[in-house]
């Protein structure tokens, strides 16, 4: 199963791979070179298909837990001063996604969207300390019953040049439902109250909508 954001790219990639394979078959006489070109095209197509995959998962909303918004690896767990929305200290948990991860962004909590904002910016590598403030990004805040306002921020990276955000201010959303999509690798930051119980560790691999980041 593939995410809708990949439909156009997958179709273009499929047409190009087939066309280039046929062209190679007709014009390249060296069998080793011919096999190598076709093999590379197949590998590239497989990588694109893998990137846009959207596996079915059995989500069970739990209002007393904050779920990971994306698949990837936890790269930050620290107390920071969040100045865009809260203007106070919050616990930041960041998950980095490689190009091989599922790139669907999911709501870490359910509730009412009170802020959805797009910020144009740079394309620093996603693990750069200033990427959270200087890169292209979207900020979404969901007001939940148990954790109050929970902010999650999609951040573009050196490869990610397209952030898709589905959140609209005023709408009610369900935990683990689709919040957006980041194309070709990046990271998502989640900002939580300081008194939560963190349920993950640095470098831990997590799955969007399934792994618990924190609880009451």
Residue 183, helix vs strand vs coil = strand
Report how far residue 150's alpha carbon sits from residue 43's, in angstroms, rounded to the nearest whole number: 39
23 backbone dihedrals φ, ψ, rounded to 5°: -65, -40
Are the C-beta atoms of 177 and 144 separated by less than 8 Å?
no
CA 71 distance to own-chain centroid = 7
Cα Rg of the chain (Å, integer): 19
Active-site amino acid positions: 186
Beta carbons within 10 angstroms of residue 216's beta carbon: 12
Q: How far is CA 70 from CA 65, 67, 77, 184, 205, in A?
A: 15, 9, 15, 13, 10
């Amino acid at each position: 199963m593939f995410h809708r954001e990949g439909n156009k790219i997958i179709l273009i990639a499929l047409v190009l791979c087939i066309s280039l394979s046929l062209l190679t078959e007709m014009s390249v006489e060296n069998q080793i070179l011919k096999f190598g070109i076709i093999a590379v095209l197949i590998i590239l197509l497989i990588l694109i298909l893998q990137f846009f995959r959207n596996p079915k998962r059995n989500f069970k909303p739990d209002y007393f837990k904050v779920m990971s918004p994306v698949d990837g690896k936890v790269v930050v767990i620290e107390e920071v001063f969040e100045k865009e929305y809260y203007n106070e200290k919050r616990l930041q948990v960041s998950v980095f996604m490689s190009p091989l991860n599922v790139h669907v962004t999911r709501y870490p909590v359910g509730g009412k969207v009170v802020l959805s904002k797009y910020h144009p910016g740079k394309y620093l590598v996603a693990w750069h300390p200033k990427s959270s403030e200087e890169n292209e990004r979207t900020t979404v805040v969901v007001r939940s019953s148990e954790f109050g306002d929970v902010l999650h921020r999609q951040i573009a990276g050196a490869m990610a040049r397209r952030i898709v955000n589905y959140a609209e201010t005023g709408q009610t959303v369900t935990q683990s439902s689709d919040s957006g999509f980041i194309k070709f690798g990046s990271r998502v930051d989640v900002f939580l109250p300081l008194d939560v119980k963190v349920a993950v560790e640095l470098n831990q691999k997590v799955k969007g909508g399934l792994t618990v980041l924190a609880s009451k």
